[in-house]
Amino acid sequence: MSVRKVVTVRATVLVICGLVWLLWQASFGAAQLEDDAIADSRFALKVEDFLRAVATDNVGLGLETLLAGSPLGKDAAQLDKLRTGLPQALEKYGRFKRSERLKVERIGQSLVRCTWLYHCTNFPVVWKVLFYRPDPTVADEWMVIGLEFDTDYSKLPVPSPDLRPVGG
């Protein structure tokens, strides 16, 4: 076998291996995107349900639903503080108008952070909910480990490029 044929065969094998690898990566990436989309919608629904409950003065029900199975939901004293203190704290922002999903981001295999803008008559409130999964091999074992709200707009995620500019 000539050197030229050996090089050609090796090049062909490398090209085929490269194509197989690319196809495998593309199928894995598509499956991961689908999994992420399903997960995103599940987290989004939980946060939306919670914010809807807060907006309709059902803070207790919203907290119980959001924190079910969470270590945060097991602290009765902290839950009571939130049930009574949250409506009072939110009063200064004005009446609820609407909520807007800003970002649902996966951080590694075990964390998902959801960021929402809770529009009120006086000014918006930024809500962040952090979900955690102790075992990344168990798909439905997510729990809330962080819940916070603030008005620090400087930490908001950059808008996606598909949004139109204001007035556009």
Any domain includes 162: no
Question: What does the pLDDT read at residue 10?
Answer: 60
Tokens 């930024």 found at = 126
User: 71: domain CATH number?
Assistant: 3.10.450.630
Q: What are phi and psi of 91, to 5 degrees?
A: -55, -40
Residue 12 lies in a domain: no
- Other C-beta atoms closer than 10 Å to the C-beta of 150 total 10
Q: Does any domain span residue 2?
A: no
Between 131 and 135, the higher pLDDT residue? 131
> Tokens 């603030």 sit at which residue?
150
How many residues are present in the chain?
A: 168
Which candidate, 1, 105, 17, 14, places its Cα nearest to that of 115? 105
- Taking only the tens place, the pLDDT of each residue in 67-86 is 998 998 898 888 888 888 88
Report d(CA 134, CA 101) in Å as an integer: 25
Q: Count up the domains in the chain and report the number.
A: 1
pTM: 0.70
How far is C-alpha 96 from the chain's CA centre? 22
117 domain-assigned? yes
From 54, 62, 60, 128, select the one nearest 96 (Cα to Cα). 54
Residue 29 within any structural domain of the chain: no
Using an 8 Å Cβ cutoff, are 53 and 59 in contact?
A: yes
- Per residue in 10-47, pLDDT (tens digit) is 655 545 544 444 444 444 443 343 355 545 778 889 99
